Amino acid sequence: MPIQARWPLQAAWQCFRRDAVLRGWVASGLAMALAAGVSLFSNPALAAHGFALHGDLKYQADFRHFDYANPNAPAGGTLTLANPDRRTSFDKFNPFTLKGTSAPGLNALMFESLLISSADESASAYGLLAEDVTVAPDELSVTFTIRPQARFSNGDPVLASDVKYSYDMLMSKASSPGYRSMCTDVKAVIVAGERTVRFEFKQRNRELPLIVGSLPVFSKKWTAKVPFEKLTFEPPVTSGPYLIERYDAGRGIIFQRDPKYWGKDLAVRRGTFNFARVAYRLYKDETAKLEAFKAGEFDAIVEYKAKNWAKSYQGTRFRNGELLKTEFPHRNGAGMQGFVMNMRKPVFQDVRVRQALILALDFEWLNRQLFYGAYRRLDSWFSNSELAASATFDGRPSPGELALLEPLRAELPPEVFGPDVVQPSTAAPRSLRDNLRQARRLLAQAGWTYTDGALRNAKGETLVFEFLDDGGAMSRVITTYVRNLEKLGIQVNQRTTDFALYQKRLEDFDFDMVSIRFPDSQSPGNELRDRFSSEAAGTPGSDNLFGLKSPVVDKLVDNVLHAHTRQELVTAGRALDRVLMHGYYIVPNWYSASHRVSYRKTLAYPERLPYYYTAEGWILSQWWRTDLQPQAR
């Protein structure tokens, strides 16, 4: 049961992080073998077809298609999907601006970037709009050459000036602040030729060439009549495989594959985006959506609620085989999902209070009673990954971690130098009562004692806060959690609000506690600044919902960003994870290592699954229909 991701403000940003290039950069002096078997850094003038963070690129320059794509997949038919999140309407086609709600599917189907990631490598990217890329000898700039055949939907060539224009718009205050945070170290974008664009950097940051290579590119003509921040239903002028065919802002949108799509024969596109049309239908709530799927109104659904998966996917269409249900394994890092405590509010500023609130969550009961044993407890910001502090042999800092932590010892709690944080459990011989007793002791140490039917401080003030909810799948979990808090004498006001107001309050940091899922990354990088940096804490709309302002965390994030090798990245990631977990900024929830998908039997997918993928993106880009005559691409 995931927590609702943040839309519309972070819609473009989160899709960008999931679907664009996986983060990272080549270590200084690390030999990156290309098709010719040479090192990028041994000849800085050599233009490469892609980047590998560690070792060799899997695919050489003459590769024909990604192994997880079916180059012989039939093209044609319509894929009908439901709204992939809780948006029930939309009022614009611009997924990057702050105001309003964008239509579903825009990022994946219409917008392209200079580079595209490989879903079976943890940190590799290959040319999409760009045919090659050159890194300067001092690593302070990167130059992309745009493919001569690259075209926008209006027939115009994609030029370097369009890349610069797109960058300037994304860096404007009208766009999500996540883009600006990721590109903090970009000094300038230079149009060096009609099809040549150079990004210059303020300092060495091995991730930056891949970051700027993954930014969406669109035509200047999109805003020929309307300023970027005021775009509503002006169709985007983009280079992607689909165009908007028609729409109804309150009911749905239909995309049609562009018959003149320029990139259909590229190796990175072969066997992908096989449907002639992609339609989204909007449903008012999750129950209506599920019942509509079972009635045959759309083709596939990704299920996030364990109870639904166990109990609701049954009926005539399942019995006769018309509808199928499958769990697809993945190797994605789990990211972090949990109840965020906003430390801008005084009630959460004492670490002992935050620890007590974590002790009140009974995961074992929830997993048994509500989730049908489907989940594992999150114990790290990088769970299901080698970057987790808990992945060390004995849970204690390695020598490499200590080398990063020791200079900061005076600013860190001593517990950081001991075992990693173990999440509280109610499995025998422990119990919820034991955990609540421990929580009460911590609260008393923080000055909160039970008096006159409530938890009060020395001034007689009660410990009270609001839990903001958008009425989604987490509501019953929140209610159970609140009951446990009430046993401690904590008063929690559950506030359920509509989706638009919910998003606005998140953007303004106007909440006490809220349920959030932060996306995963196989190679975390500059997105950590948007999530944890002191600067982001004061930037409305950033991922730093906690209000975390810590010079120590800022330094550890920089260590991750400037890691030279995978081992250095792992070490820096574990040190950061260790400090964050000992800060107790979030009540960790749970994760699953598989995608639960139900679909019509007339849909098919490649035999070879990708390693790192989202279920929705995989269905859109890799699946096809088996019940219609294929159409020419």
State yes or no: pLDDT of 37 exceeds 50.
Answer: no
State yes or no: pLDDT of 106 exceeds 80.
Answer: yes
How much is the average pLDDT of 347-367? Answer: 97
Sheet containing 115-117: give its strands across.
50-52, 124-127, 115-117
Residue ranges per domain, the chain? 11-278+597-625, 336-587
State yes or no: pLDDT of 373 exceeds 50.
Answer: yes
State yes or no: pLDDT of 571 exceeds 70.
Answer: yes
Q: How confident is the model at residue 54 (pLDDT cuts 50, 70, 90)?
A: low
Coil vs helix vs strand at 248: strand
Q: Which residue do the tokens 């088996």 mark?
A: 626
Q: What is the dihedral of CA 37, 43, 44, 50, to 10 degrees?
A: -10
Angstrom distance (rounded) from CA 525 to CA 523: 6
- Does this model's pTM top 0.85? My answer is no
State yes or no: pLDDT of 2 exceeds 80.
Answer: no
Phi, psi at 561, each rounded to 5°: -65, -30
Asked if the peptide bond before residue 540 counts as cis, ω within 30 degrees of 0, the response is no
Angstrom distance (rounded) from CA 463 to CA 453: 11
Instruction: Please indicate whether residue 178 or residue 78 has the higher confidence score (pLDDT).
Output: 78
State yes or no: pLDDT of 422 exceeds 60.
Answer: yes
Which of 380, 476, 487 is closest to 434 using CA atoms? 487
The predicted structure's pLDDT at residue 10: 33
CB 407 within 8 A of CB 340: no
The predicted structure's pLDDT at residue 8: 30
How is 185-220 classified by DSSP, letter by letter? TEEEEEEEETTEEEEEESS--TTHHHHHHTSEE--G
CB 204 within 8 A of CB 218: no
Q: What is the dihedral of CA 539, 613, 594, 80, to 10 degrees?
A: 100
b (16+ CB within 10 A) / e for 483-510 = ebbeebbbebeebeeebbebbebbbebe
Angstrom distance (rounded) from CA 26 to CA 414: 34
Q: Poorest-confidence range of 19-33, 187-201, 465-479, 487-501?
A: 19-33
Residue pLDDT, tens place only, 76-101: 999 999 998 888 999 999 999 988 99
Q: How confident is the model at residue 390 (pLDDT cuts 50, 70, 90)?
A: confident
The predicted structure's pLDDT at residue 13: 33
Note the CATH architecture for domain 336-587: Roll (3.10)
State yes or no: pLDDT of 548 exceeds 50.
Answer: yes
State yes or no: pLDDT of 545 exceeds 70.
Answer: yes
CATH code given to domain 11-278+597-625: 3.40.190.10
Q: What does pLDDT average to over the chain?
A: 89
Neighbours of 107 (CB within 10 A): 22
Q: Which residue do the tokens 């369009």 mark?
A: 162
